[in-house]
Copies of this chain bind each other. A is one copy, B any other.
Amino acid sequence: MSRSGDQPVGALPFDVEDVGARALAAARLGVRGANPLVGAVIVDAAGRRIAVGHHRGAGTPHAEADALANLRADVESGRLDITDANPPGAWTMVVTLEPCHHTGRTGPCSHAIRDAGIGTVVYAVADSTDTASGGAAWLAAQGHRVIAGSALAPEWSRAAAQLNHRWFSARAAGRPFTTLHLAQTLDGRIAAADGTSQWITSTASRHHSHRVRARAEAIIVGSGTVAADNPRLTARLPDGSAAPRTPLRVVMGHRDVPEGAALVGDGHYRHVRSRDPRAVLAELASVGIDHAMIEGGASIATAFLREDLVDEIWLYQAPLVLGSGRGAVGDLGIDTLSAARRFEYDDVGDGALARCGDDVVLHLTPRAADHDTDTLMRR
């Protein structure tokens, strides 16, 4: 009987919490949106980390494919020597989410791992989405050793679940992931008493928000804002030209969209005659939108916050004080401090806070309540 038979199934030539933490750090380099944040590390039989990868957002390679591509590039360029790295069958892919088993804009990671011949896969969190799940079972059926991280490295598994907790809950609810854009004064105003609001924030902030906007598949704006401000809602590059892809413009509310409205332009818009954020998101989901940006005005922002349907916030804060005028957020039905909507500053991607021209830009995501993570872990 071989020695390995005495070892527990999970015995691995490295510390899973350590390597898992490295994979999570890689995941945090990505951006939030249609896809979850995922990081992957490849470790050889000697415990050496030979590749790291992460997902950079919808339409780009998944973390597993990125790690494999980085490995190939490093070997081909001579930066990495794997002649004594033992065969791929002795390697382990440590990944923060179960490898996908679905062909979307990129091929299934399950196949990429099989093709690379990597013997062992350790994943932090199971992917329970209908379209992409099944990668673990398929790989096991192909003869790979596949290990769920929840028992092996519970802290890592929990942290990986928390990192994407809002993405998982959006998917579970069958709705797009949402990003709220807010641009306000220090005292939380988006317009002065006489209605003037252009421009509270600096050109640099508006460029930044165009960059964020270009990641989304849809931009939601209230019909009142369309009537008042007539925004174009294009995603423009800093030089003023259009970004390669312009998101679907979505007008929500009962007011008609004026025929000459700027956002009607190329016809790539949709009017949802509802003020109910759930109804709007359901309609967007039905046309395949996975990531929507909420642009305003205040009543739209308030409606999404009230229903706890904001998954990410980019807050541009101009160094102005108005003291009166329209607030960025209206009544949420919250009357005591302990019931406040709790977020956390989010250092994923571009970071939690930065100067942006004359302004600062703050990045937030809802804080995971313990029960949220527990629900994820039980799935």
A to B CB contacts below 8 Å, 23 in the list: A184-B188, A186-B188, A186-B343, A186-B364, A192-B334, A305-B323, A317-B362, A319-B344, A319-B345, A320-B342, A322-B334, A322-B337, A322-B341, A323-B329, A323-B330, A324-B330, A324-B331, A324-B332, A344-B358, A345-B360, A352-B355, A352-B360, A353-B354
- B interface footprint on A191-217 (CB within 8 Å = 1, 0 otherwise): 111101110100000000000000000
CB pair B335 A194 closer than 8 Å: yes
Quick one: closest B residue to A302, CB to CB?
B323
Assuming the contacts A327-B188, A355-B353, asked whether A332 and B322 have C-beta atoms less than 8 A apart, the reply is yes
Assuming the contacts A192-B335, A324-B334, A327-B187, asked whether A345 and B340 have C-beta atoms less than 8 A apart, the reply is no
Q: Please name all residues of chain B whose beta carbon is closer than 8 Å to the beta carbon of A193 when the two chains form the complex.
A: 334-336
Quick one: closest B residue to A191, CB to CB?
B337
- B interface footprint on A159-202 (CB within 8 Å = 1, 0 otherwise): 00000000000000000000000101111110111101110100
Tell me, yes or no, whether A367 is within 8 Å of chain B by CB: yes
Tell me, yes or no, whether A328 is within 8 Å of chain B by CB: yes
Quick one: closest B residue to A322, CB to CB?
B340
Once bound together, how far apart are the Cα atoms of A331 and B364, in whole Å? 28
Tell me, yes or no, whether A69 is within 8 Å of chain B by CB: no
Once bound together, how far apart are the Cα atoms of A40 and B11, in whole Å? 62
CB pair A187 B186 closer than 8 Å: no
Q: Please name all residues of chain B whose beta carbon is closer than 8 Å to the beta carbon of A282 when the two chains form the complex.
A: none
Q: Please name all residues of chain B whose beta carbon is closer than 8 Å to the beta carbon of A198 when the two chains form the complex.
A: 337
CB pair B336 A329 closer than 8 Å: no
Number of copies: 2
Q: Please name all residues of chain B whose beta carbon is closer than 8 Å to the beta carbon of A360 when the two chains form the complex.
A: 345, 352-353, 362
Tell me, yes or no, whether A321 is within 8 Å of chain B by CB: yes
A175 smallest CB distance to B (angstroms): 20
Q: Please name all residues of chain B whose beta carbon is closer than 8 Å to the beta carbon of A332 when the two chains form the complex.
A: 321-324
- B interface footprint on A335-379 (CB within 8 Å = 1, 0 otherwise): 111111111110000001111001110101001000000000000
Tell me, yes or no, whether A285 is within 8 Å of chain B by CB: no
Tell me, yes or no, whether A152 is within 8 Å of chain B by CB: no
Tell me, yes or no, whether A12 is within 8 Å of chain B by CB: no
Most chain B CB atoms below 10 A, which of A302, A352, A353, A359:
A353
Q: Please name all residues of chain B whose beta carbon is closer than 8 Å to the beta carbon of A324 when the two chains form the complex.
A: 330-332, 334-335
